[in-house]
Every structure is written in C-alpha cells, then in structure tokens.
Chain A
Amino acid sequence: GENVEQHPSTLSVQEGDSAVIKCTYSDSASNYFPWYKQELGKGPQLIIDIRSNVGEKKDQRIAVTLNKTAKHFSLHITETQPEDSAVYFCAAYNSGGYQKVTFGTGTKLQVIP
C-alpha cells in the first residue's frame, strides 16, 4: 500500500518568512496529492491539492510542487502569518473509486510574531 513520509516534524519561522514542508510517497499509482491544515481540536481541512498531471499549483500565499519521477511533493507558504500556525498533513491517493487517503506524519508549524 501507499506510504507517505513527511519532513520536518516541527518548523518554527518568523512572521513574514517562508515555510517549506516536504513529502515523499511510495505508490506510483497515486495521482492526487492534497494538503490538509489541522488546527487544535479540529478536523483536517483541505487547503490545496495537486494532481499528477500538473507540476505546480499556486493559490495566493500557498504553492505546491510535484515531482512524479522522484515521488516528491512540497508545500510552500510565503509571507507566513501567525494564523498559519497549525499542523499540516500531506496526503496521497489514487482518485479512482473509494480509495482511502494516506496521510503523512504531520508538520507542526509555528509562526512567531
């Protein structure tokens, strides 16, 4: 089955700096890579995603990149703000049918004002 590794496990940045979180996946059949933000006591909320036919996607201060050959994908947050502080999970799955979401181990991001 799919295995998703995520680094770093914790990340502290100064407000206004950029944050980068990296993930690798194992199953070449995975074709959809969402990123979830989880705030304390809440469920994972989808913030951005990328499909395997795309190398990069951007939404305001958030961007994701995907290297299918290397099975790497990354989340980039620019101009970080205190409200970006949360746990971020990468995930991977095959979009066909009922396929389950396989999550990475999570990155706790702290943005220091």
Chain B
Amino acid sequence: EPEVTQTPSHQVTQMGQEVILRCVPISNHLYFYWYRQILGQKVEFLVSFYNNEISEKSEIFDDQFSVERPDGSNFTLKIRSTKLEDSAMYFCASRWREEKIEAFFGQGTRLTVV
C-alpha cells in the first residue's frame, strides 16, 4: 500500500542551525501538508502546498520556515535558524484530489534542538 515516507526519523541540531526535513508524498497526490506536534500536544497545521505554491499557512509558519517541492517527488520543510521551541514531531501529509478526501500522514521526523 502506498505510504508517505519521511526522512530522517530523528534529527538533532544546535540552536541557530538550519534543518531540512524531507518527505516523499504518495505518488499522484496533489495536495501536500506539514504539521507539527509538540510532545504531548495535539497535531497543529503548519502549511499546505498545491500547484507548486503555498495554499495556506498558519501563524506558526513564519519567515524562518519555507517549503519546496524541488523535483516532483520530494517535499521539504526548511527551518532556517532553529530555536529550542521548534523541537517537535513534524508530520508530512498528502491528499489526492477533492473526490479522494482522506489525508495520509507520514511517520514523522522528531526534531530536537539543543
């Protein structure tokens, strides 16, 4: 069964460093998302991406964050200068199109900023 894959599974980085989280959405899906889950809290929306541009972003998704779909298969989330409070699980998700409304989530990348 197709699945959303994310790498790495765990990333440790020093405060102020740049990180790139990678995702391979399910093939033929058209809508892509990043979500964040701080330990013990709910899953929060960061950004949605469709047709090679951001469709919507939350207030969490400030200028330190960016997304890219560089080659038609990967979908990346970049954090330019990490802060301690960026430590969280980051989930990538994808959806096919409107008539297939289920969103499928990856296993997540645990980001630890020290």
Contact bitstring B16-40, A, C-beta under 8 A = 1, else 0: 0000000000000001010100000
Interface majority SS (helix, strand, loop, mixed), chain B? strand
A32 and B42 contact, Cβ closer than 8 Å, known pairs A43-B106, A44-B91:
no
Asked whether, in the complex, the Cβ of B98 is within 8 Å of the Cβ of A43, the reply is: no
Contact bitstring B87-112, A, C-beta under 8 A = 1, else 0: 00001010100100111111110100
Known: A34-B102, A45-B105, A98-B55. 12 other contacts (CB 8 A): A32-B101, A42-B108, A43-B4, A43-B105, A43-B107, A44-B105, A98-B95, A99-B48, A101-B35, A101-B93, A102-B45, A105-B42
Using CB atoms and an 8 Å cutoff, list the residues of chain B in contact with chain A.
4, 31, 33, 35, 41-45, 48-50, 55-56, 91, 93, 95, 98, 101-108, 110
Using CB atoms and an 8 Å cutoff, list the residues of chain A in contact with chain B.
32, 34, 36, 41-46, 49, 89, 95-106
